[in-house]
Structure formats: C-alpha cells, structure tokens
C-alpha cells in the first residue's frame, strides 16, 4: 500500500462540489463510519485537475446511510448504493463491497459487503482505484495507481481478461482514458482488450453511445479515434455498415485534427462517419452531379447512430451534414446564392466547418475559401439563420400576385431567397420587377410545377 499526502488548495478547496462531498463524509465519520472519496475524482485530484463529480465509499450499510441523510434515493440500493441529495447536488454513496461473476456482462450476480481493499479490487483500472482519506488529507493506493499515474500507464486491477469479461464497456473506457491523459496501454491489458473487443456486441448500444459521446467531445478525440482503429475496435463500436480502410482512417484523423477543441458532437461524428458511410469521395464524384447531395450516405449514417440510441437531434444533424458533403468539391458548378442558401438553412451551425475539415483531409484546406467568404458576407449582412435581416418577399406576397400555392410557389420562393442572398433582391422595387418577370414566366410555362430551381 502506498499513501500520498495531498494538500487540498484552491481552486479545489473552494469548489462547491468538493465542499458538499466533504460534508457528506464528515457526517458519516461523526456517526462512526469509515468513508472516503473514491475512483476518478481521486485520480483527477492527484493530477491537479478539478473533478466533475465525487463518488464516496463507506462502511455504512445502505439503510444506515439513508438514516443519516433523509433526502436520499435508493435507486441502487440492491448494489449497496444510496444517492444522497444535499446542497443542490447528488452524490453516490456506496457501501464497501465485493462482487460475484458478471453473468450478463454488466451487473454482478451477487454483492456482499466487505472492506475498502475488497471494494478497490473489484474496480476497473489502477488509476481509478485510489481512495482519499479526508481526515488525513492523504491518498490511499492499494493497487499501484499512483505508480501508473507517474508512468502514464492504463492497467487493469488484477487479471485484465477478468476485468474486461465482467464488463466489456471497459474496453472503450480504457481507450478514452488513454487518449484523455496521453497514457499508454500496459501490454497485457492491451492484448486482453483486443481479445475482448467482440464482447462489445453484448453491451447495450446506448451504453456504448454514452462512452462514445464522452470520448468524441473531449480535446484528444483524434487520439481516441486512432486508438480505436489501431486496436481493431471501430467495427465493434460503429457496426458492420461503416466501411473502414487505411486511407479513410488517415483522412478521418485529419478531419478530426482540423476541428476546434469545442466542436459539437454532431460535427465530430459527421467527420468520423463521412468516409465510412460514403461509396465515393467528394473529389471522385462531385463534378458528376447537379445537386451535390448524398442522401444514401446520410441514411447510412443516420441508421448507424440510431442503432447506438443517439439523440434524434444528433442523428438528424449528422445526416444533414453528410448529405451535403459534396458541396465543397462541387462549388464551382453552384451559383453564389445556392451556396449561401445551404449555409443559411444549416440548422446545425457547423456546415462550413464540416466542409473545411473534409477539404483539409484531402490536403485542400484552401478549397473552401470561397464558401467562407460567402458565409462571412451573409452573416455580416444579418442574412444567416437567426439574423435580423428578412427577405422582402414571402408566400403572401406571391399569392397576392396570383401565384398558386403549389410547387411553383415553393420554387419561386427558393429562387427569391437565392437572389436575396446574392444581394439582387433587396428593395420593394427589386421585388416588383422580379415578380413581374416571374409571373410572366410561370404563365408561359405549360407545366410550371415541373420546372427545377436553378442550381
């Protein structure tokens, strides 16, 4: 066992969350129970980071914990966990325990109360197995976590095959921690991880989604993606409908590197899936299409994310970006108003960033300069989505001019929007002139509903 004195200083000492967790521990101590901070929060404290949440372990039984904290929930009581509600926060307070076999790959077949050492031995990785004794302000390390933090190693506690066999989700968690901290996988842990990868098929897809979302919204997402690829995990995470090759893995890494650190999960996943769901790259086919939409690729991406139980907003957003992927490569065949229209109607707010990252992955970072100029202009003019400027023509204006409310009206409104975005339809006089020409053209066409809006 190794112990490390740890001085709690600002900003941690002034943290509302830490103060509330400390108060829970002091209450347990005052009642005669042992209690410690445990797991990831202790790891982060040792690394000088501010934990996002604090977990607590104690010698108190669930009913004893609940007696001390009337405002608490028994949602995990069968596993020895009580959720304590205090100071506007919630803390999981778990009784020291050891566990039986994980027959369903997620939950133990039995739980029995034990001591701190037994509780630590059931956990996943050494860096997550340390406890913090608040009364002595020291870290208690029973499994070598401090040494592995110093060496930058991800290692399971005990037999890695057993740990991954208990819960295959630990396979993805190992990658996430390695990427987040820039650590390497200890060799036996790495080999066991690769052997356990097929077991991810037994894991509920929404659990994989949760880990994937954590991983892909962190700063080192590109490192995480490369690790998933190197370890052969991509097919087990995204399923068989996403096709990977050495070339597309390199391009995907380049796209992720091109993103800002605070990129949204929608933008990140569009960059991850863009090649894997497409059957042609933008530079291979964009010049052969009139309207550069790839709805088939979008549908495949949406199906992959839906199978992971991703939120509907993420599914739709990624699909919308991938559908419009070809635009940056086909922009020379598109008028300015059409590009501006796509940018204006982008509800994700990330379309230009997606095009820029995709172009960069082909070594063509400058290819989106025209698109950026168009986007910057309509933003400056207040014409982007949410801007203050309003188009001077709408369906009511067209109806009053005698345009039927059918496909013709929709096409005319789309054309009006393109002209407005090009700066050619700004005043009432502009509208009157354009409307007169548009109505004459519509009257002269035998099948106005069959006409196509100009690309």
**Nearest by Cα to 169 from 204, 213, 121, 221:** 204
Of 3 and 312, more confident: 312
- Evaluate if residue 105 carries a pLDDT over 80: no
**Nearest by Cα to 97 from 118, 82, 77:** 118
Per-residue model confidence as pLDDT tens digits over 329-373: 988 888 999 999 999 999 999 999 999 999 999 999 999 999 999
Average the pLDDT over 306-313 and give the result. Answer: 98
- pTM of the complete model: 0.88
**Nearest by Cα to 39 from 100, 92, 113:** 92
pLDDT of residue 284: 61
- Evaluate if residue 83 carries a pLDDT over 70: yes
Residue showing tokens 């042992």: 34
CATH says 152-236 is which class? mainly alpha
pLDDT of residue 9: 85
Q: What CA–CA distance (Å, rounded) separates 106 from 181?
A: 25
**Alpha carbon separation from 429 to 195, 434, 435 (Å, rounded):** 71, 9, 10
pLDDT of residue 439: 65
Average pLDDT of the chain to the nearest whole number: 91
DSSP code string of 396-411: HHHHHTT--TTHHHHH
Domain with CATH 3.30.460.10 in the chain: 1-151
Q: State the pLDDT confidence band at 452, using cuts at 50, 70 and 90.
A: very low
Vertex 166 angle, CA 165 and 171, to 5°: 65
Domain with CATH 1.10.110.30 in the chain: 152-236
**Alpha carbon separation from 242 to 91, 173, 187 (Å, rounded):** 39, 21, 29
Element (H, E) at 173: helix 169-181
User: Quick check: 83 and 72 in contact, CB under 8 A?
Assistant: yes
Average the pLDDT over 36-55 and give the result. Answer: 96
Q: Which CATH number fits domain 1-151: 3.40.50.720, 3.30.460.10, 2.40.128.90, 1.10.10.60?
A: 3.30.460.10
- Evaluate if residue 119 carries a pLDDT over 60: yes
pLDDT of residue 207: 95
Of 164 and 448, more confident: 164
Per-residue model confidence as pLDDT tens digits over 237-249: 999 999 999 999 9
- Evaluate if residue 267 carries a pLDDT over 70: yes
pLDDT of residue 454: 41
**Alpha carbon separation from 204 to 266, 287, 308 (Å, rounded):** 21, 42, 9
pLDDT of residue 285: 54
- Evaluate if residue 70 carries a pLDDT over 50: yes
pLDDT of residue 295: 93
- Evaluate if residue 287 carries a pLDDT over 60: no
Per-residue model confidence as pLDDT tens digits over 402-411: 888 888 888 8
pLDDT of residue 290: 54
Which residues, 6+ apart, have CB-to-CB distance to 447 below 8 Å? Answer: none
pLDDT of residue 428: 82
pLDDT of residue 42: 97
Distance of CA 31 to the CA centre of its chain: 42
pLDDT of residue 372: 96
Q: State the pLDDT confidence band at 446, using cuts at 50, 70 and 90.
A: low
Exposure on the CB side of residue 337, measured as CA atoms within 13 A: 16
**Nearest by Cα to 397 from 436, 451, 450:** 436
Of 281 and 361, more confident: 361
Q: What CA–CA distance (Å, rounded) separates 321 from 294?
A: 10
pLDDT of residue 448: 44
Element (H, E) at 154: strand 153-154
The proportion of the chain whose per-residue pLDDT surpasses 70, expressed as a percent, equals 92
Per-residue model confidence as pLDDT tens digits over 201-256: 999 999 999 999 999 999 999 999 999 999 999 999 999 999 999 999 999 999 99
pLDDT of residue 434: 87
Average the pLDDT over 19-36 and give the result. Answer: 98
Q: State the pLDDT confidence band at 106, using cuts at 50, 70 and 90.
A: low
Q: What CA–CA distance (Å, rounded) separates 18 from 100?
A: 32
């Amino acid at each position: 066992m190794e112990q490390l004195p740890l001085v709690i200083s600002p900003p941690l000492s002034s943290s509302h969350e830490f103060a509330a967790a400390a108060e829970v521990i002091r209450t347990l101590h005052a009642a005669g129970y042992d209690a410690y901070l445990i797991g990831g929060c202790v790891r982060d404290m040792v690394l000088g980071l501010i934990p996002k949440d604090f977990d607590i372990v104690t010698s108190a039984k669930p009913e004893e914990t609940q007696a001390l904290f009337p405002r608490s929930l028994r949602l995990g009581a069968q596993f020895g966990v009580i959720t304590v509600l205090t100071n506007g926060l919630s803390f999981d307070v778990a009784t020291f325990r050891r566990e039986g076999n994980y027959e369903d790959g997620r939950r133990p077949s039995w739980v029995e109360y034990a001591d701190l050492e037994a509780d630590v031995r059931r956990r996943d990785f050494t860096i997550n197995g340390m406890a913090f004794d608040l009364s002595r302000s020291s870290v208690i390390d029973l499994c070598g976590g401090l040494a592995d933090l110093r060496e930058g190693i991800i290692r399971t506690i005990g037999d890695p095959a057993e740990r991954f066999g208990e819960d295959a989700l630990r396979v993805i968690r190992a990658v996430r921690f390695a990427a987040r901290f820039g650590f390497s996988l200890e060799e036996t842990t790495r080999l066991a991880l690769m052997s356990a990868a097929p077991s991810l098929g037994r894991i509920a897809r929404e659990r994989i989604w949760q880990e994937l979302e954590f991983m892909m919204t962190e700063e080192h997402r590109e490192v995480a993606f490369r690790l998933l690829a190197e370890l052969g995990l991509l097919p087990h995470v995204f399923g068989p409908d996403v096709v990977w090759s050495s070339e597309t893995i390199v391009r995907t890494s380049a796209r992720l590197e091109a993103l800002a650190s605070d990129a949204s999960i929608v933008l990140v996943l569009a960059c991850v899936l863009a090649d894997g769901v497409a059957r042609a790259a933008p530079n291979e086919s964009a010049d052969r299409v009139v309207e550069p939409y790839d709805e088939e690729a979008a549908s495949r991406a949406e199906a992959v994310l839906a199978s992971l139980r991703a939120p509907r907003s993420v599914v739709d957003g990624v699909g919308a970006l991938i559908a419009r992927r070809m635009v940056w490569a086909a922009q020379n065949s598109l008028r300015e108003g059409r590009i501006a229209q796509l940018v204006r109607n982008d509800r994700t707010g990330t379309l230009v960033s997606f095009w820029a990252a995709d172009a960069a992955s082909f070594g063509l970072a400058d290819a989106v300069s025209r698109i950026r100029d168009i986007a910057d202009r309509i933003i400056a003019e207040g014409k982007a989505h949410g801007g203050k400027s309003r188009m001077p023509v709408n369906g009511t204006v067209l109806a009053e001019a005698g345009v039927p409310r059918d496909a013709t009206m929709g096409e005319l409104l789309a054309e009006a929007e393109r002209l407005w975005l090009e700066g050619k339809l700004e005043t009432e006089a502009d509208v009157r002139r354009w409307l007169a020409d548009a109505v004459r053209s519509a009257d002269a066409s035998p099948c106005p509903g069959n006409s196509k809006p100009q690309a």
